[in-house]
Amino acid sequence: MVPIVFLLNGPNLNLLGKREPQVYGHETLEDVRALAEERAAAHRLTLDFRQSNHEGVLVDWIHEAREKAAAIIINPGAYTHTSIAILDALLASELPVVELHLSNVFRREPFRHHSYVSLAARGLICGFGARGYALAVDAASGLIGQPKA
Ligand code: CA2
């Protein structure tokens, strides 16, 4: 069976490529989806790529991943810095988690330096823009022991 990786995106990431290109780049969410799907195919993985602006929806999707997925990649957006609910759901999933950010959060405002999600993550990719999405799929593939095609 082909392993499934959930790639979840949090609030405002639907605006990618449409606002603040100096911070988040020119690629749209559809562009980063394409990059991630290309890497997933190379690793013989199925990618389930989603975005929501709602914390509870993200929590529900993490619960769903527990049943269906072999790993979770998550860019929780601003919920990174605030959401114990998302942290608890990730811990409960018992799945390998890759935390992902477009920007280098450590070069930004101090409130972005703390991540609740990092407590559940096996690793963190940040600061590589859209390319980070491909790197995150590589990392997830390694965590579930999936060989490259
Ligand atoms: O760098 C990242 O990927 C972030 O997760 C993005 C979040 C931010 O709150 C985190 O600290 C770091 C914000 C997502 C907002 O996305 C936008 C994209 C384009 C235009 C405006 C917002």
Ligand 1: residues with CB < 6 A are: 12-13, 15-16, 19-20, 24, 75, 77-78, 80, 101-103, 105, 112
Total residue count of the chain as it appears in this document: 149
Separation of CA 77 from chain center: 9
Q: Determine which residue's CA is closest to atom 20 belonging to ligand 1.
A: 19
pTM over 0.85: yes
71-75 sheet: strands from edge to edge: 46-51, 4-9, 71-75, 97-101, 123-126
* Domains annotated on the chain, with CATH: 4-144 (3.40.50.9100)
Structure confidence by residue, pLDDT tens digits, 38-69: 999 999 999 999 999 999 999 999 999 999 99
Mean pLDDT of the chain: 96
Question: pLDDT tens digits for 74-83?
Answer: 999 999 999 9
The predicted-structure confidence for 116-135, as pLDDT tens digits, reads as follows: 999 999 999 999 999 999 99
| CA 94 remoteness from chain centre | 16
